[in-house]
Structure 1
Amino acid sequence: MASANTFLFSFKEHLKVLHRSSATVEAYSSHIQAFLDTTGFDDVRAVTRKKLEDYMATLYGYRTKDGKPYTAATISVKIRSLKRFFEYLEESNIVFINPAEFIREPKKVRGIPKNILNPAEARAVLDQPNLGTLRGIRDRAILELFYSTGIRIEELCSLSVYDADLQGAMLRITKGKGKKDRVVPMGKHAIRFLREYITKVRPHFTKKNRAERRLFIDTSGKPLSKQMTGISVRQYGKAANIGKPVTAHIFRHTFATGLVKNGADITAVQKMMGHADLRTTGIYLRTACVDLKKAHKESHPREKEQEEQSICKPVMERRTPHHARKSKSEPKPLEH
């Protein structure tokens, strides 16, 4: 019988054949490897449902150095990795009984996004890059694109020069999350800085690498990495001194929240965000609840009616219970 690591390698190749993203392949394999290292299993046929449940208990009981537990999302992806792994082993006739078949992921609780930027805070971050430098113009274009389109950081780093239609004001996302394509509108400010970057900055960066087709590149002409992009966004957020952490994903939340607050159709927001499930987009309705109350008060026709205070005030009357009422005309009983 081959070792568990051999089957893990074949499982990774299986995921690649299914065109799963490199991030998914690496995440699944690392979580499965952690399970194998923690439990010491070298023969996958020896894994039972009880062993998996015991491992799940360790996940729920885990605490970091500062005492924080795993989030439900982290536990979910760890369990999901094992479920997909044993499903593959069962389909490949390596195991005849899938021990993870009835193992359930923790229930997901979709919280309200935190640290949403208001327009003034967003503008403060956008103003941080030094537009007197080539890098500053590139970084301003990146920040504007995050704020204008709500795309994910990996999606931005994967853009090619052919994906930005400046004339049509549209941005094509090829093989985003879930390997799905979509098209997102770009705002005028994003188009302005993107045009400046493409015409004046990018040609300078690609002097030694004219064949490069990635849209955003570093000063040496190589594709800009997700890690470096993330670091730059955080640095600009810190320099803005707005008292909130700033990441590409916070710009994504800010983008969606701003659209919903200003009356955008929720299904349109879903398509722009690239969400497979409308319920995922629905969390932004909760962030806008205060504005919805204000809109109701200012827009509902009944709320607009100007009535006298005396008319609006309900009249509460003391009423005698029915059984205690007596008619004044009721005759007294006869005396015998």
Structure 2
Amino acid sequence: MKWQQGLKDYQNYLRLERGLSENSIINYSLDIKKLMRWLETNEINTSPVSISEEILQDFIYDIAKRINPRSQSRLISGLKGFFNYLIFEDYRKTNPLELIEAPKLGRKLPDTLAIEEIDTLIKTIDLSSKQGERNRAIIETLYGCGLRVSELTNLKISDLYFEEGFIKVTGKGDKQRLVPIGATTQKYIEIYRKEVRVHQKIQSLAKDTLFLNQHGKPLTRAMIFTIVKRLAEKSGIRKTISPHTFRHSFATHLLENGADLRAIQQMLGHESITTTEIYTHIDRKHLTEVINRFHPRR
């Protein structure tokens, strides 16, 4: 088996067997391509089936000089997945990365915005511009429903069940979930739909897509990042803000106001409760206040 064929087979496995999104498949593929380029640069002639633990150790040691520990950990994890696939398909008997440990990482807590900061950011939106109402609806949806940026760009009009108070969200691996949507978020989406979107010339493939660019096409992930970055600069908020910041803020504010962790897990679409538990570490001051207020031994 040659590297290109192994990579192609692995991509098909991730797509068909594991149902991963194209973004996830691209990220996994990058890990393997880095190894392939390193082998070529160093004129090492070996295949995915015959590559040894020693060669991979040299690769990890070399690339660790140029990437941070978090990227290094992700790379090792991605390559382990590839070799586990080869074992699964009976190409190999062992995983050459089995004994190679990823660097220890401290848990990185997500950045969040205070409610006042979110209000300030929304107030800076120029509603007199053509895209003002759309951008307000975007921010309200990111924060009001806790969506990933890809979930927002893929949101369809047919996914909106406002009478029932839910939207249908397609998350990682094309897994669908129902997320409650509040009256405020519904209101701003409806304003955008009825006062802005209805007047656009919409491309045929985007008829059902909710959020569109000025050319009547679906918004890209990059455009959502740009919208958020410009609003953050305009509002004077000095934190590093991305679309994901609103998802973190959504979960944090729910938890601080007494929401059940399992309910938050379902709304965020986390497979494991462990992923959701990171939010219990964010605001220690808030947790201290809870203890002081409610514990009988306070």
The question of a shared fold, defined as TM-score above 0.5 by the shorter chain, is answered with yes
Match of 1:57 in 2: 61
Question: What's the secondary structure of 2:270's corresponding residue?
Answer: coil
The reply on whether 1:100 has 2:112 as its aligned counterpart is no
The reply on whether 1:8 has 2:3 as its aligned counterpart is no
Question: For 1:166-217, what per-residue CA distance to the aligned partner results, in whole angstroms no more than 9, with x for missing partners?
Answer: 222212112x124322111112221110011122222222445486211111
- Sort the Cα spacing of 1:211 and 1:296 in 2 relative to 1 into closer, same or farther, 3 A: closer
The reply on whether 1:285 has 2:280 as its aligned counterpart is yes
Match of 1:31 in 2: 31
Alpha-carbon distance in structure 2 between the residues aligned to 1:10 and 1:208:
35
The reply on whether 1:43 has 2:28 as its aligned counterpart is no
Question: For 1:249-290, what per-residue CA distance to the aligned partner results, in whole angstroms no more than 9, with x for missing partners?
Answer: 111111111111111111111111111221221221122321
Match of 2:252 in 1: 257
Alpha-carbon distance in structure 2 between the residues aligned to 1:183 and 1:169:
10
Contact 1:4–1:42 under 8 Å retained in 2: no
Structure 2 unaligned blocks of 5 or more: none
Higher mean alpha-carbon deviation, 202-211 vs 228-237, is at: 202-211
Match of 1:203 in 2: 198
Alpha-carbon distance in structure 2 between the residues aligned to 1:207 and 1:113:
36
Question: For 1:33-56, what per-residue CA distance to the aligned partner results, in whole angstroms no more than 9, with x for missing partners?
Answer: 111111224531441011112222
% same residue: 30
CA apart distance, 1:11: 2.1
Question: What's the secondary structure of 1:245's corresponding residue?
Answer: coil
Alpha-carbon distance in structure 2 between the residues aligned to 1:256 and 1:271:
11
**Equivalent residue in structure 2 for 1:120, among 116, 119, 123:** 116
Alpha-carbon distance in structure 1 between the residues aligned to 2:160 and 2:275:
27
Alpha-carbon distance in structure 1 between the residues aligned to 2:225 and 2:209:
17
Alpha-carbon distance in structure 2 between the residues aligned to 1:26 and 1:157:
18
TM score, norm. by length of structure 2: 0.90
Alpha-carbon distance in structure 2 between the residues aligned to 1:240 and 1:109:
31
- Sort the Cα spacing of 1:288 and 1:91 in 2 relative to 1 into closer, same or farther, 3 A: closer
Match of 2:216 in 1: 221
Match of 2:16 in 1: 17
Question: What's the secondary structure of 2:64's corresponding residue?
Answer: helix
CA apart distance, 1:128: 2.1
- Sort the Cα spacing of 1:286 and 1:211 in 2 relative to 1 into closer, same or farther, 3 A: closer
Question: What's the secondary structure of 1:173's corresponding residue?
Answer: strand
Letter in 1 for 2:87: E
**Equivalent residue in structure 2 for 1:70, among 68, 71, 77:** 68
- Sort the Cα spacing of 1:129 and 1:71 in 2 relative to 1 into closer, same or farther, 3 A: farther
Alpha-carbon distance in structure 1 between the residues aligned to 2:202 and 2:53:
58
Contact 1:238–1:245 under 8 Å retained in 2: no
Question: For 1:103-150, what per-residue CA distance to the aligned partner results, in whole angstroms no more than 9, with x for missing partners?
Answer: 444455423223x21111111111222222331101100000111111
Match of 1:321 in 2: none
Question: For 1:66-112, what per-residue CA distance to the aligned partner results, in whole angstroms no more than 9, with x for missing partners?
Answer: xxx4142x223312222222233334444455423444444554232
- The CA RMSD over aligned residues, in Å, is 2.2
Structure 1 unaligned blocks of 5 or more: 63-68, 304-336
Letter in 2 for 1:30: L
Letter in 1 for 2:108: G
Alpha-carbon distance in structure 2 between the residues aligned to 1:146 and 1:211:
20
Computing the radius of gyration from Cα coordinates, the structure with the larger value is: 1
Match of 1:330 in 2: none
Higher mean alpha-carbon deviation, 83-92 vs 264-273, is at: 83-92
Question: What's the secondary structure of 1:172's corresponding residue?
Answer: strand
**Equivalent residue in structure 1 for 2:234, among 230, 236, 239:** 239
Corresponding pairs, count? 293
Letter in 2 for 1:167: E
